[in-house]
Amino acid sequence: MNICMIGTGYVGLVTGACFANLGNKVICVDIDKTKIDSLNSGICPIYEPGLEELVARSRKAKRLFFTTDLKDAVKKSQVVFIAVGTPPKEDGEADLTYIEDVSRQIAQSLTSYKLIIEKSTVPVETGNWIEHTIKMNNKRKVKFDVASNPEFLKEGSAIDDFMHPDRIVIGAESKRAKDILLKLYKPLKATTIVTDIKSAELIKHASNSFLATKISFINAISNICERAGADILEVAKGVGLDKRIGKDFLYAGAGFGGFCLPKDLDAFIRISEKLGYSLEILKIVRSINEDQKKILLKKIENNLWILKGKTVSILGLSFKPETDDIRFAPSIDIIKALLAEGVKIKAFDPKAMEKAKGKLTNVDFCSDPYSAVKNADCVVIMTEWKIFKNLDWKRVKKLVKQPLIVDGRNIFEDPKKIINIGFKYIAMGRKI
């Protein structure tokens, strides 16, 4: 099929490249000319395993194109995905300005039937507004359909998630729209459900909120483990073996970050209030998540006594491994809070340093983990990158000023190994 993907952010770029890989002809559009120019010269604006190669391959096969010309891209396509940003406003509500803008531009570019699909995460009822906006601006009265097709990609494993999804959700209300989407996804041979548009929109918000709830729940239990002298890893394992609960997303730590869970939680709380129901449960989920960062800070403070003048080494800046994304990463809040207390920060991350440099000042960004821990009074682990687990911790012990580790991600299954080297090891909800 000929596909137009509007928005080459994380979702648009990955989805566009994957559809091209399936044999479709995809034109990715963005208003950011610098981004389009760099994609056209083979440079990926984000780090996602396998993405750069996939983009290069599809470009070479003449199945993937990048442009700033929305009108031309829409004209050449049968299917138009909207994958533009829906950033949070001050009060947490999703800002849908870009969605409205793009809907208007699509309407003005219509020359033949198009299926317009919302891919961005949006509040329930956005589909109605897209349809309304297009109708208002569709001067030539060209036929079109609107559908919802939420994405469930995880950063760090997005391509694999696209190729092997747990499910595909299609929110479509005409046979034509439904058939096009079913045909598009047929090669994946995945479990697919077809719903009305509002239900599809809600599936996305409800899924991300449930995942956030699972994480906050296990974090709350980890705090009980600490007080009771139990171990969160054992407890999570025992709980997760119940198939109804499942073992995934039961890892306690410094809390969830990224541009999806925190933002979608806020947006879902706001839209629910607008609909006349207060999702109190999600407010608690959000506050537990904020508390986890305070708990981690307290652990650092309790073990360093006076923070001012101390050196803290931060290992990991991205909100999770295998990505360079630092948006809403707990590491950023922790670093800012420590800097405010007069702490000297040394930091290392395998992929996220460039992005962090644009967000943080007064941080000594080090070229490798060993330089980052040199002369540190405390080593804080903020992201569970594999290389941190596999560091030569005996060498680290010789380099630090004080042998103290505060592990915000519980990377060592058996803390004894690290304790026997001579470290004081503090983790989240662990029995040590």
Angle among Cα 11, 14, 72 to the nearest 5 degrees reads 85
Verify binding: residue 12, ligand UGA, rule CB under 6 A. no
What CA–CA distance (Å, rounded) separates 22 from 291? 43
Cβ of residue 260: shortest distance to ligand UGA, in angstroms? 3
Verify binding: residue 319, ligand UGA, rule CB under 6 A. yes
Cβ of residue 51: shortest distance to ligand UGA, in angstroms? 14
Name residue, tokens 């931060």.
314
Cβ of residue 20: shortest distance to ligand UGA, in angstroms? 20
Name residue, tokens 């960004």.
365
Name residue, tokens 């297009």.
134
Task: Check if the beta carbon of residue 259 is closer than 8 Å to that of residue 318.
Answer: no
Verify binding: residue 261, ligand UGA, rule CB under 6 A. yes
Verify binding: residue 251, ligand UGA, rule CB under 6 A. yes
CB nearer to ligand UGA: pick between 88 and 370: 88
Verify binding: residue 253, ligand UGA, rule CB under 6 A. yes
Verify binding: residue 257, ligand UGA, rule CB under 6 A. yes
Verify binding: residue 217, ligand UGA, rule CB under 6 A. no
- Which residues sit opposite 39 in a β-bridge? none
HSE on the CB side for 30, CA within 13 Å? 23
CB nearer to ligand UGA: pick between 359 and 401: 359
Name residue, tokens 């208002």.
136
Dihedral of the CA atoms 406, 411, 413, 418 (nearest 10)?
-50
Which one among 232, 260, 296, 378 touches ligand UGA, defined by CB under 6 A? Answer: 260
Buried/exposed code over 132-156 (b: 16+ C-beta within 10 A; e: otherwise) = ebbeeebeeeeebbbbbbbbbbebb
CB nearer to ligand UGA: pick between 113 and 210: 210
30 appears as a binding residue in the annotation? yes
CB nearer to ligand UGA: pick between 36 and 153: 153
| Total residues binding ligand UGA (CB under 6 A) | 21
Task: Check if the beta carbon of residue 197 is closer than 8 Å to that of residue 174.
Answer: no
Task: Check if the beta carbon of residue 330 is closer than 8 Å to that of residue 297.
Answer: no
Stretch that binds ligand UGA, among 63-71, 207-215, 301-309, 345-353 (CB under 6 A): 207-215
Task: Check if the beta carbon of residue 377 is closer than 8 Å to that of residue 312.
Answer: yes
Verify binding: residue 249, ligand UGA, rule CB under 6 A. yes
Cβ of residue 400: shortest distance to ligand UGA, in angstroms? 25
153 appears as a binding residue in the annotation? yes
What CA–CA distance (Å, rounded) separates 67 from 72? 9
User: Which one, of 408, 360, 368, lies nearest residue 387 by Cα?
Assistant: 368
Dihedral of the CA atoms 212, 425, 221, 287 (nearest 10)?
-50
- Which residues sit opposite 117 in a β-bridge? 81, 147
175 appears as a binding residue in the annotation? no
CB atoms within 10 A of CB 305: 8
Verify binding: residue 258, ligand UGA, rule CB under 6 A. yes
Cβ of residue 354: shortest distance to ligand UGA, in angstroms? 19
Of the residues 4, 18, 225, 260, only one is catalytic, namely 260
Stretch that binds ligand UGA, among 15-23, 257-265, 304-312, 386-394 (CB under 6 A): 257-265
121 appears as a binding residue in the annotation? yes
| Annotation marks residue 260 as catalytic | yes
- What are φ and ψ of residue 160, in 5° steps? -65, -40
Give the footprint of ligand UGA on residues 138-177 (CB under 6 A). 151-155
What CA–CA distance (Å, rounded) separates 278 from 270? 8
Verify binding: residue 320, ligand UGA, rule CB under 6 A. yes
| Residue numbers belonging to the annotated binding site for NAD(+) | 30, 35, 86, 121, 155, 263, 327
Which residues participate in the annotated binding site for substrate?
152-155, 204, 249-253, 257, 320
> Catalytic site residues?
260
**Binding-site residues from annotation:** 30, 35, 86, 121, 152-155, 204, 249-253, 257, 263, 320, 327
Residues making contact with ligand UGA (CB under 6 A) = 121, 151-155, 208, 211, 215, 249-251, 253, 256-258, 260-261, 264, 319-320
